[in-house]
A and B are shown apart, each in its own frame.
Chain A
Amino acid sequence: MIRYSTDPVAVTASNWGWRHAGRSRFAVRKLDLDIQPGERVLLLGASGAGKSTLLAALAGVLGNDDEGEQEGSLLLDGGSPASRRGRAGLVLQDPDSQVVLARVGDEVAFGAENLAVPRAEIWKRVHRALDDVGLDVPLDRSTSALSGGQKQRLALASVLAMQPGLLLLDEPTANLDPQGVIEVRDAVVRVLERTAATLVVVEHRVEVWANVVDRVVVLGPDGGILADGTPAEVLGEEAARRSLAGAGVWVPGWKPEVEGHLPGTAGDPLLSTRGLAVARTRRGAEVLTGVDLELSAASALSIVGPNGAGKSTLALTLAGLLKPRRGRVTAEALLECGAGADPARWRSAELVQRIGTVFQEPEHQFLTSTVADELEFGPRRVTREPESSFRPRTSDLAERLRLVHLLTANPFTLSGGEKRRLSVATMLATSPDILVLDEPTFGQDAVTWAELVGLLRGLVSGGGCVVSVTHDADFTEALGNRILDVRAGGVVQRGTP
């Protein structure tokens, strides 16, 4: 077995804190933490507890006095993180925004180049790192042609080529499908076996890492540390479990409680497809063919299947946003109400009253500069009535989705969970009969998850139709397990409508 000549790094934080420039509140404060060389730490805490800030600080990328104010000290092997360039390697959450270069080999070499490693040594490291993460692709393969899981393993390999003594993983699997999660977790385990590097990982889904780490540290929402111990100690104790669950952490063996029930039988048909083939662009390849399905009132359908099988494209076509490549999407009289049978031909204002679509990235759908305007945008588009006609509905939505205290805030400044809630609320503001959601639970903490599922159940029992593209088995189950399984160009239906 090859072992890298890397000495694991020790981390020492003494009363450390950091306030980003322009913010009044400290992101992290009063942190005292010692991590021994080679320790494997899972870092937990509510969103906003400063986990990502701490990782960025350990990676030495928080910046200088211009970017914020530091308290106390944070040291890697007794020196400042900035002075330990290359000792810490950071992998971030979003697979797409950490790829620097166009070819796999160059990407892995990039870090070593920046550390001025000699050329011959760089290529040895590149091969070893790719081997360690199990990424068996040619060096000149395009980085944009990789799957999400492959991209995250590439990011890991890119970091390994610097031979760091401290691995920092910031929610590395939050944006991946289940297959990708396992790929990345296993790659990390293999790497740790070979390098003995110190590990600090942040992740909401605890069970992925509970067996990999030997210590769990929970950051408090107002600074300091809430809990610190072995996984069994921290996750086994009832009080700790409850407080973690309350903070939105996915504690193993626990499922968030969801309100609401699903109706037993579906209602009248709203939309049907016949021999449907879908493609992302007008001239692009058909990704999925022969889809025959029916969407009814008071029902929920989950579209599942591997990445790249065409789930999202199908959902966008059902939502009237993409034209069918072949076959038909037909809106029934109950749904179309005079707009015509083909949803792809509806004008925007007609569409929002009939089919709503919640995109995976909430920011793609923000149109205004305050949450209040955002909620009222749709209703204003479809009615000439005064505000008093839709105010009750938007106010009610703001209340139910806990957005009232944010009404004057800029939508882009909200937290991830708040953005998700807002993007769903804006779609519900025009009361569409069908709601289509693309990966609604990706990267969400357990609290937001439960709220979302409860809301969707309420919609269905109120007669709505909910169609979700998802990898989340808990979500699918909570919505009644009616599944459209999409794989390799074909579809299989499971579950009873």
Chain B
Amino acid sequence: MSSDLLTPSLAGNSVLIRANPLSKLFAAVVITGVVMLSIDWVSAAVALTFEILLMPLLGISMRGLLLRAWPLLIAALVAAYGTALLAEKTGAVLLHVGPVLFTEGSVAAGIAIGLRGLALALPGIFLAVSTDPTDLADALAQKLHAPHRFVLGALAAVRLVGLLVEQWQTLGLARHARGAGAEGNALVRTRNFLGQAFGLIVQAIRRATRLAVAMEARGFGAAERTWARKSTFSPVDAWVAAVGLGIAAGAATAAVLAGTWTFLLS
């Protein structure tokens, strides 16, 4: 059912499914944080290696990952190419065609950026494929004490992603039927696109306003509320958090020992 676009695609009894969303979030944040803080190929490569090695344990197959996340590979390649093109040109010249100049230094920089992009993205993907938004909202509100009105408002809106995607398709057909289809030159197409986007936002706000009435009519918005399902931690969560910390520490240590650690703001 396309309305459930954002429900986790991972099934079964893997570690990630059993863990509380917060421990997964914690692990993903520390790994992302360390990889973010330094731009060097060692920390990125170490983190990426651990992430890939852990996949079987997490219940994620390489095939499933590639099916879902192939744009990630392209994005990493593009980022690597862009940096190699635009970085300071140090070292020997590797390629020089017209305005395009790649040197050893710039290509090394590109490789570091590409690896770092992959290492940054994977934790987010692991989180996305294994976490039900409802469970995440429960954990954020109950364990982290995030303001529940905002957490639940966002949760209700996220449920609408699938409906809005369907509505986008319907709007496209409805406009084609009126004589405003996705055809013609770039200017006409852009104008049609903007019109369709406006139509979607009108429908979205109408729906949201009605939804707000329905939620308020069911008592939503008061300061105190209870939770039908309790968000709990188990020993698995300690493991998930510890492994996350371990990978982050390992990546940082390796880069410092190798002398490649380059702090982001330096």
> Which residues of A are in contact with B by a Cβ distance under 8 Å?
56, 59-61, 85-86, 88-90, 92, 94, 96-103, 105-106, 109-119, 122-123, 126, 142-145, 155, 158-159, 162, 281, 316, 319, 321-322, 347-349, 351-352, 356-357, 359, 361, 363-367, 377-378, 381-382, 412, 426-427, 430
Contact = CB atoms under 8 A, between A and B. Distances in A.
Contacts of B211: 97-98, 100
Interface stretch (B29-37, B63-71, B93-101, B216-224): B216-224
Interface in B202-241: 202-203, 206-207, 210-211, 213-222, 224-230
A117 B199 CA distance: 40
Nearest to A280: B169
Given A92-B214, A114-B222, A102 B177 contact: no
Contact of B179 (A102, A143, A348): A348
Given A61-B213, A113-B227, A364-B171, A321 B179 contact: no
Given A102-B4, A367-B195, A412-B202, A348 B173 contact: no
A222 B168 CA distance: 39
Interface in B133-176: 133-134, 152, 155-156, 159, 162-163, 169-171, 173-176
11 contacts: A85-B222, A96-B163, A101-B155, A102-B159, A114-B218, A114-B222, A348-B178, A348-B179, A364-B171, A382-B179, A430-B179
Given A116-B226, A365-B174, 19 more contacts: A85-B219, A100-B152, A100-B159, A100-B211, A100-B220, A101-B155, A101-B159, A114-B225, A115-B225, A119-B227, A123-B228, A155-B214, A162-B219, A321-B173, A321-B176, A347-B183, A359-B170, A364-B203, A427-B177
B207 A144 contact: no
A110 B222 CA distance: 13
B7 interface: yes
A347 B180 CA distance: 9
Nearest to A382: B179
B181 interface: yes
B53 interface: no
B3 interface: yes
Contacts of A363: 199, 202-203, 206
Listed residue (B156, B159, B163) with the most chain A CB atoms within 10 angstroms of its CB: B159
Given A319-B177, A349-B179, A364-B174, A98 B214 contact: yes
Interface of B: 1, 3-4, 7, 132-134, 152, 155-156, 159, 162-163, 169-171, 173-181, 183, 195, 199, 202-203, 206-207, 210-211, 213-222, 224-230
A381 B179 contact: yes
Q: Which 6 A-B pairs have the closest CB atoms?
A: A348-B181, A114-B219, A144-B3, A111-B218, A98-B214, A109-B228
Nearest to B158: A102
A281 B2 CA distance: 11
Contact of B216 (A61, A103, A427): A61
A86 B213 contact: no
